[in-house]
Amino acid sequence: MSEKLTILAPGTVANMVCGFDVLGFALEDPCDEIDIALIPEKRIIIQPDPVYHLPTEPEKNVAGAALLAMLDAMDEPIGFDIAIRKHIKPGSGIGSSAASAAGAVVAANHLLHHRFSKEELVQFAMFGEKVASGVKHADNIAPCIYGGITLIRSIFPLDVVALPAPNLHVTIVHPQIEVRTADARAILKQNVLLKDAIKQWGNIAGLVAGIIQNDLPLIGRSLQDHIIEPVRSILIPGFDEIKQRSMAAGALGGGISGSGPSVFMLSADKATALAVEKEMQAVFARIGIDHHTYVTTINPQGVKLKS
């Protein structure tokens, strides 16, 4: 039995346009790296993080809280010692906390010979999200663990539907501004117009059909959000221009990643994804906001062992 290993836990995009709160996907890059070792007592040890100085008390650490939930489901004198090298910046809107929480439980499950199902791992990792944001949500956790694109059909009871990963290229820009998840939630209206909701469920239905049937034009036509984006995009300077210029450069569509501030665009090929990156960089350079960009693909596998 291997008692020690390293995994790569990918960033994820939640709130995939018309799939607010239900559709997300995993990224090939960036990934957090997590070293994990089995220890012979029922406790969790978190090694100090030299860059972000994240809490080392397990119950205050997203990975720690997820692993504690896992230990609660076992009746043995074993625990885990983990060290996380974060490459996904906290607060970027591409699932930084989910990567640590999901990565930790998947890594632990490897050491346990896959005792727990993916759905159980999602349940454990959601305790990490609760530490991060106060809410047990799975929209980043699920794609991080399953890979590809995932649908959370229902959260209580949890029903994760794994969809295939179409061969799409992803461009992400992370402007260095802060959008607090709590603010992004507070700005939403509790009521929506029925006619807008109908457009939204027509689009998510088209998006899911396009994803499963690998119909890129249908995916493009369906990437419309009539409810959340018009409200939340005002928190992201340059959003409308980013979107217009990305579409003009050939992107299929895209929107806010999670609750922002990152913005993602999907393209059919790498050349287009790189052209979109240039447009994003130009917009934020002109506005004068520091930013990072990523050009990557959809990760079909989710968390994986580092080879």
Query: Which residues are marked as active site?
Result: 129, 181
Give the pairing of strands 44-46 and 79-85.
Answer: parallel
Give the interface segment with its own copies, choosing from 1-9, 148-156, 251-259, 298-306 (CB under 8 A). 148-156
Phi, psi of 242 (to 5 degrees): -55, -45
What does each C-alpha distance from 282 to 162, 253, 264, 265, 276 come to in angstroms?
A: 36, 18, 15, 15, 10
Residue 189 binds its own copies, judged by CB under 8 A: yes
Structure tokens at 88: 């996904």
Write the single-letter amino acid at 13.
Answer: V
Residue 262 binds its own copies, judged by CB under 8 A: no
| Residue number, 133 or 293, with CB nearest to its own copies | 133
Near its own copies by CB under 8 A: residue from 51, 188, 271, 285: 188
Near its own copies by CB under 8 A: residue from 140, 181, 200, 299: 200
| Residue number, 50 or 157, with CB nearest to its own copies | 157
Residue 135 binds its own copies, judged by CB under 8 A: no
Contact present, 48 and 68 (Cβ < 8 Å)? no
Residue 247 binds its own copies, judged by CB under 8 A: no
Burial of 162 per CB tally in 10 Å (0-12, 13-18, 19+) = middle
Structure tokens at 236: 């992201």
Near its own copies by CB under 8 A: residue from 100, 140, 203, 257: 203
Near its own copies by CB under 8 A: residue from 152, 219, 263, 276: 152
| Residue number, 206 or 254, with CB nearest to its own copies | 206
Residue 194 binds its own copies, judged by CB under 8 A: yes
Give the interface segment with its own copies, choosing from 36-44, 58-66, 198-206, 247-255 (CB under 8 A). 198-206
Question: Residue holding tokens 């809280």?
Answer: 65
CA 243, CA 267: separation in Å to the nearest integer? 13
Q: Could you give the 3-state DSSP secondary structure of residue 61?
A: coil
| Residue number, 59 or 183, with CB nearest to its own copies | 183
Structure tokens at 200: 């939204």
| Residue number, 114 or 185, with CB nearest to its own copies | 185
Give the pairing of strands 253-256 and 263-267.
Answer: antiparallel
Contacts with its own copies by CB under 8 A lie at 18-23, 151-154, 159, 161, 163, 188-195, 197-209, 212-213, 218, 221-222, 227
